[in-house]
Amino acid sequence: MTTEEILRVRMFNLWLTRRCPDVVLLAREMLGLHSWFYRNVRYSAIIRGADISRWKTRLTKTWLYRGTLHGVDPDDLPLLLALHQGETWFERQYGRAFADNATEEVVRCLEDGIYSRQEMRQIFSDTYDRRMIDDLFSPWGGIFVGLARRGIVAFRDMTSRDFDLIAVDDIPSFDDAFPEALRRYFAAYGPSTTADAAWFMGLSADHFKAADLSAFNSFELDGKRFYYTDEPEKLPDIPKVQILAGFDPLIVSYSDRGAVLPDEYKRAVILTSGICMPTVAVDGRIAGLWSIKKRDPVVEFFTSQPKRIRDKAAEQVERIIRAPEN
């Protein structure tokens, strides 16, 4: 395959050149939708034509790969959580014994109907100092990351900052879950390399050295081996204009983003804070940014574009921001 052919297959697999019927199917096939900003889940689904009815409660928001929040199909939680059962930052910082004790206290709060971090901060302030409180209930996750990884809590819904107790039963071992997760990654994000898969899953390269890759189709390009499952018989053309949500999977799911993101625009798209901006692609390559200002769409291209391109991008942004809330 050429670089253009790789991009065509990726865009098809990621539902950018066909319509996805449902947001849960989309989240399932893509192994979760990045939701550090929850609105990006909604936008990503609308861009791909998915029915987003009741998306706020039909998906579950929790911490997954690289410590980031994702909206996932609740039925996928056992598989996805199995990849991330290692020690959390909080446990390394304070020790497992203390973390277990704090976990019990937090669970008791949840059982008593106390769901917000702010309320828990006040309750725990009689026992712990300010620094400990800040670490326990950090906006980056704190104690809740470990609880989420063990399938004990998740956010109450996709837009909430509060938590609910959940019960994820039968989380498999990493060794049992990894082959299926890898198969699904290459099915959705292929053609891609094992370095791409390692980046996506937040795992070291060592996990892939012993992986059985013989079941996948593969080819070599520019000294790299790419893996994928099935190539569609007929691929749609790359769209002339394609808007992408912030943290869109087409950009953030690969260690090498060169196929879609030109080097000269990387700093404008991926900020130093790690935030990935909403973008506009022309012929499959990122060519600008879009945003919402005073409830109106704003599209800014990096270089001059014909009026038909500017108008098409503005129409697409208008469509997704005006889509009814569900």
pLDDT (0 to 100) of residue 13: 96
pLDDT (0 to 100) of residue 117: 92
Map residue 61 onto helix, strand or coil. strand
Contact predicate 11/238, CB 8 Å: yes
Angle between helix 307-322 and 39-47 (nearest 10):
120
Q: For residue 289, which phi and psi values (nearest 5 degrees)?
A: -125, 155
pLDDT tier for residue 85 given thresholds of 50, 70 and 90: confident
pLDDT in tens, 306-326: 999 999 999 999 999 888 876
Sequence-distant (≥ 6) Cβ neighbours of residue 324 within 8 angstroms: none
pLDDT in tens, 260-290: 999 999 999 999 999 999 999 999 999 999 9
Mean pLDDT of the chain: 94
Contact predicate 230/6, CB 8 Å: no
Please give the Cα distance from 100 to 2 (Å, whole number): 51
pLDDT (0 to 100) of residue 303: 96
pLDDT tier for residue 231 given thresholds of 50, 70 and 90: confident
Place of tokens 């260690």: 255
Q: What is the DSSP string of 214-247?
A: TTSEEEEETTEEEEES---SSPPPPPSEEEE-TT
Please give the Cα distance from 279 to 299 (Å, whole number): 9
In residues, how long is the chain?
Answer: 326
Please give the Cα distance from 76 to 85 (Å, whole number): 15
pLDDT (0 to 100) of residue 326: 66
pLDDT tier for residue 9 given thresholds of 50, 70 and 90: very high
pLDDT in tens, 188-225: 999 999 999 999 999 999 999 889 999 999 999 999 99
Domain parsing of the chain, residue ranges = 89-149, 241-322
Please give the Cα distance from 260 to 8 (Å, whole number): 11
Q: Considering only CA atoms, which of 234, 245, 232, 319 is closest in space to residue 286?
A: 245
Judged against a pLDDT cut of 70, whether residue 239 lies above it is answered with yes
Judged against a pLDDT cut of 70, whether residue 187 lies above it is answered with yes
The mean per-residue pLDDT over the stretch 57-73 comes to 94
The mean per-residue pLDDT over the stretch 100-108 comes to 94
| Percent of the chain predicted with pLDDT > 90 | 87
Phi-psi region for residue 306, left (φ > 0), alpha (ψ -120 to 50) or beta?
Answer: beta
Place of tokens 């702010």: 118
Q: Considering only CA atoms, which of 62, 19, 20, 21 is closest in space to residue 38?
A: 62
pLDDT (0 to 100) of residue 174: 94
Angle between helix 174-189 and 194-201 (nearest 10):
120
